[in-house]
Amino acid sequence: MSVTAAAGFAAGGFACGIKPDGQLDLAVVTAVAGTIGAAVFTTNRAAAAPVVVSRSNLADGPSVRAVVVNSGCANAGTGDEGIAAALTTVAAVAADVGCDPDEVLVCSTGGIGKPLEVDKVVAGLASLIPHVASSPGSGTSAAEAIMTTDTVPKETLYRGGSFTVGGMAKGAGMVRPDMATMLVVVTTDAVVRPAQLKEALQAAVDESFHALNIDGCPSTNDTVILLASGSSGVVPSPAELTTAVGRVCWDLANQLAADAEGASRVVTIDVVGAPDSATARRAGRLVCDSALVRSAFYGGDPNWGRLLGALGAGDIEFDPDEFGIAYEGVAVAEDGREVSHDPAALHAGIAEGDFTVTMTIGRGPGSARVLTTDLTPEYVNFNAEYS
């Protein structure tokens, strides 16, 4: 049920000593010869060294034979030393796998500003790579090794007829759209052209990870990688591939939201009435950036004025007289004005657990679904600790 579900891939996790508690902190996904890859990276201007190296390697060509991820250190804010560490990691994987260094993608996650103990990584790779396997347990081991503040590993699987798509993800904080949203590796055994692979990944990311906003803080390391081995021999249509990859990414995005740091509930915002889907998605993200809105979500308070104010503070043109809000299908505002409803009953209905908000911002055909969480005291306490 993970990155090893699709034919042509093997994985594993190992404790190389970056994390002081002896937990798994090094993961590798290997792929058969002929595998191609595509990726979406963070838009953060302080992109980490692994992002810089992986971007460069993919620019050299789509062939990918391995992805290596360390947790416990982001290797971000580390200058030339960080680049050298990422390149050393890539070279070590290439030597152990038997491929060119530019066929290896590298990711790191953890605290920013600390040098990566690359000697530990290299020694760990020598122990890990000979034992990678295609078993479900090996996939789960890799998913556990990329965790930082996550409380559970995140894996998923979709079988699209005679081809398979699997994936793993990590992320519980520093999650905000317009990047790849933390670290994700998705694999498929479909036969895919490089251009088609890029298109399917970008479409899936736009509808899933770019629709997720946990705390409004883009990470320096965010990367989503999609690999296609072609081992099934099946050539799906572009629509079939996009649907399959999209379902895997949407499921992983939901798992990220459910495991968000300190969160007690996931809130789904359906935006309708926009001129187009891109505008609808931007409107949803804008509302999710508001601490006032997410504090109201924590209290189960159907305060629709906070959503109106958050949207109006942004750069999206809309007519306030066409604004409407419904909580769990119960309308509280239409055409920019409050409508009759039972506040006590509605509050009781959303006092606990996940819920959905439908936000109307006009009369257009555009719509989008955005995921966020409530803003809790636990989130503040968690992120106030030194790390």
Domain of residue 371, CATH code = 3.10.20.340
Query: Any idea which residues carry the catalytic annotation?
Result: 181
The closest of 160, 147, 149, 215 to 189, measured between CA atoms, is: 160
In a domain, 92, yes or no: yes
- Cα 251 to the center of its chain, rounded Å: 10
pLDDT value at position 26?
98
Domain range for residue 331?
A: 266-384
Pair (41, 64) in one structural domain? yes
| Cα distance between residue 340 and residue 74, in whole Å | 51
Same-domain check for residues 26 and 67:
yes
On whether both 254 and 270 belong to a single domain, the answer is no
Query: What per-residue confidence (pLDDT) applies to 127?
Result: 97
Statement to judge: residues 228 and 303 lie in one domain: no
Residue 368, domain member (yes or no) = yes
- State the Rg of the chain over Cα: 21
For the domain that residue 239 is a member of, what is the CATH number?
A: 3.60.70.12
> 156 with 285, same domain?
no
Domain end among 258, 287, 305: 258
Distance CA 322, CA 57 (A): 48
Rounded to whole angstroms, the maximal C-alpha distance in the chain is 68
Residues 6+ apart with CB under 8 A from 325: 302, 304, 307, 308, 331, 332, 333, 357, 358, 359, 360
Q: In what order do the strands lie in the sheet with 366-373?
A: 212-213, 366-373, 266-274, 355-360, 324-327, 330-334, 337-338
Per-residue model confidence (pLDDT) at position 256: 85
Residues 180 and 250 in one domain: yes
What is the per-residue pLDDT for 177?
52
173 near 331, Cβ under 8 Å? Answer: no
Question: How far is Cα 133 from Cα 374, in angstroms, rounded to an integer?
Answer: 39
pTM of the entire predicted model: 0.85
* 4 inside domain: no
Provide the strand spans (E) within 112-265.
154-160, 163-170, 183-188, 212-213, 223-228
Q: Strands across the sheet with 26-31, in order?
A: 9-14, 26-31, 66-71, 104-109
| Residue 359 shares a structural domain with residue 250 | no
Tell me the per-residue pLDDT of 106-149, one tens digit each, with 9 for 90 and over.
Answer: 999 988 899 999 999 999 999 999 999 999 999 999 999 999 87
Strand locations in 78-162 (E):
104-109, 154-160
143 and 211: one domain?
yes
> Does the residue 87 lie in any domain?
yes
- Same domain, yes or no: 306 and 365: yes
User: What is the Cα–Cα distance from 297 to 349, expressed in whole angstroms?
Assistant: 12
Q: Are residues 86 and 211 in the same domain?
A: yes
Q: What is the pLDDT of residue 373?
A: 86
Q: Of the candidates 77, 81, 147, which has an alpha carbon nearest to the alpha carbon of residue 110? A: 147
Q: Supply the DSSP symbol for 115.
A: P
In this structure, is residue 224 part of a structural domain? yes
Handedness of CA 48, 50, 51, 56 (dihedral sign): positive
Residue 363 falls inside a structural domain: yes
Indicate whether 2 belongs to any domain.
no
Instruction: Tell me: do 122 and 219 sit in the same domain.
Output: yes
Indicate whether 248 and 280 sit together in one domain.
Answer: no
Domain boundary among 230, 258, 286: 258
Distance CA 334, CA 320 (A): 10
Q: Return d(Cα 256, Cα 259) in angstroms, integer.
A: 5
Q: Give all strands (DSSP E) within the chain, no chain letters.
A: 9-14, 26-31, 36-41, 66-71, 104-109, 154-160, 163-170, 183-188, 212-213, 223-228, 266-274, 324-327, 330-334, 337-338, 355-360, 366-373
Two structure tokens written together for 94: 């290439």
Residue 181: what pLDDT? 46
Question: Which residue stretches of the chain have pLDDT < 70?
Answer: 172-182, 214-219, 382-387
Boundary (domain end) residue, out of 212, 230, 258: 258
How many domains are there within the chain? Answer: 2
State the pLDDT at residue 193: 97
3 located within any domain: no
